[in-house]
Structure 1
Amino acid sequence: MAKAHGVLRTVLSARPGRFAGTVAAAVVTAGLLLTLPGCQGDDGSDRATIVAPGGPGEKARHLTPEEAAKAKPDDSPNAADHTYVSRMIEHHRQALTMSALAPDRAASDGVKRLAERITAAQKPEIGAMEKWLARHPATTIPPTTAAPAAPAAGHDHGAMPGMATEQQLAELTAARGTDFDRLFLKLMTAHHEGAVTMAGEALAGGNNVAVEEMATEVVATQSAEIHRMRAMG
């Protein structure tokens, strides 16, 4: 019973737009159905039901598991989702390239630790996004007017917001000491700002829950690091 109450609390705290999906996931994860006393089917037999909270001033609804499953919103990936994931992989890879320069070039321990945190966060994110792409090949993505189609192989990713140019990367590679620290913070701040912009576009135009979660994480993590880098600079 305590486990059932925990599932119910999860359901009640879900976002309205994702309510039905959260219900189904919570019930399946817990391996149980929430049966409410006095809820019966047309044949008089007891039936498991799920409470769907109504909006302000509205009554709650009682849904069967079948009804909850049918009400689950379609979160099929669209072109905005696929474009974001494809481009963000390349965006993150450049951040890893820049961060890998810090141990041998940076003068500040703070810059070195920042580079370590960026690597620790973005490397597994790349892995998660690559797995997402493997599950959702580009040929299965429906079109959308919210974003252009995903870039083909060999696309010039320098057009993405915040990406450093080849010349800037060469300058960063050649820099040492405090010059490296200054340039690293400048380039990485712009890089993070670009990532936040891309994540915002995905949140506005995408449709897939997993991509929404990834983009939300990027906004939260990289916004905090932007503030930290500005303070360091």
Structure 2
Amino acid sequence: MRQRIMPVVMVPVLVAGVLAGCGGGDEDDGAAPESTVLVPGRPGEPNKTAVKGPATPAPPTAAEIRFMEMMIPHHRQAVEMAALAPAQAEGAQVKSLAERIKGGQQAEISAMQAWLAKNERPSAGGHGGHGTPSASASGGSHAGMAGMATPEQMARLKAAEGGAFDRLFLTLMITHHQGALTMVKDVLDKGTDVVVQETARDVEAGQQVEIDRMRALLRG
């Protein structure tokens, strides 16, 4: 008898699941559709239906927000350093690498700013709506940001030319990239936000490749 009853039970369940999926047009576009599933009852109890859908995503952690806030000025200093290369560098490879760093980190800055605009909470730091400290990229306080060049080092880089610029640029940028890897290590796999975790992995992979390239250029 049970084999004859089960198809009758499953039909309204399947219909309910289809209707739930079709009715999603009136809901928030960012939410995944819910579905109705059959939940077997305990021995002697009837089967039940239940609505199954995605759990509400956990909010980003304070560490993830902090990572995005601090990585922006960290990237900005790299962009500032790289922007000097076209006029002051001697080696074509150094100029090409600097251009790559500048373009890549500018794009990441824009993406991180967009994420912070959606996710930053007032209690997370309140940096003027952009999630960035008020200090300039090349000076001011950079507590907690490993690898940042000091104002004195930036002044030396701005005054250098030719081969001297190339060597100083590569040396400072290697340290700068290593600092970014330290910041990544502090947040990677310790949070809940998919975008932050993917950003951290992208920074880790991309900057390690550039570190290896810069070391090779220094060795000549």
Which residues of structure 1 form unaligned runs of 5+? 1-37, 49-62, 142-149
2:73 is matched with 90
2:204 is matched with 219
1:115 is matched with 98
Larger Rg: 2
What is the aligned counterpart of 1:163 among 131, 148, 152? 148
1:51 is matched with none
**Displacement of 1:75:** 3.2
Q: Say if 2:85 and 2:95, in contact at 8 Å, map to a contact too.
A: yes
Whether 1:203 and 2:191 are equivalent positions in the alignment is no
2:23 is matched with none
SS of equivalent to 2:188: helix
Whether 1:79 and 2:62 are equivalent positions in the alignment is yes
Amino acid aligned to 1:128: A
Q: Structure 1, residues 64-96: CA drift from partner, whole Å, max 9, x if none?
A: 4752413x6x33111101110010000000000
What is the aligned counterpart of 1:131 among 106, 110, 114? 114
Amino acid aligned to 2:98: A
Distance 1:228 1:211 in 2: 26
Q: Structure 1, residues 5-54: CA drift from partner, whole Å, max 9, x if none?
A: xxxxxxxxxxxxxxxxxxxxxxxxxxxxxxxxx9x748454546xxxxxx
Distance 2:133 2:160 in 1: 33
- Relative distance call for 1:45 and 1:111 in structure 2 (3 A) is closer
SS of equivalent to 1:69: coil
SS of equivalent to 2:52: helix
Aligned CA-pair RMSD = 2.6
Q: Say if 1:83 and 1:151, in contact at 8 Å, map to a contact too.
A: no
Identity of aligned residues (%): 42
TM-score (norm 2): 0.70
What is the aligned counterpart of 1:105 among 88, 95, 98? 88
Moved over 6 A (4+): none
Q: Say if 1:161 and 1:198, in contact at 8 Å, map to a contact too.
A: yes
- Relative distance call for 1:89 and 1:43 in structure 2 (3 A) is same
Q: Say if 1:158 and 1:164, in contact at 8 Å, map to a contact too.
A: no
1:177 is matched with 162
Distance 2:132 2:102 in 1: 25
- Relative distance call for 1:101 and 1:83 in structure 2 (3 A) is same
**Displacement of 1:204:** 3.8
Q: Structure 1, residues 104-155: CA drift from partner, whole Å, max 9, x if none?
A: 11110000000000011010110011111111123265xxxxxxxx886447
Amino acid aligned to 2:92: D
Which residues of structure 2 form unaligned runs of 5+? 1-6, 19-33, 37-50, 125-130
Distance 1:119 1:190 in 2: 16
Amino acid aligned to 2:200: A
Distance 2:72 2:14 in 1: 53
2:171 is matched with 186
Q: Say if 2:70 and 2:133, in contact at 8 Å, map to a contact too.
A: no
**Matched residues, number:** 172
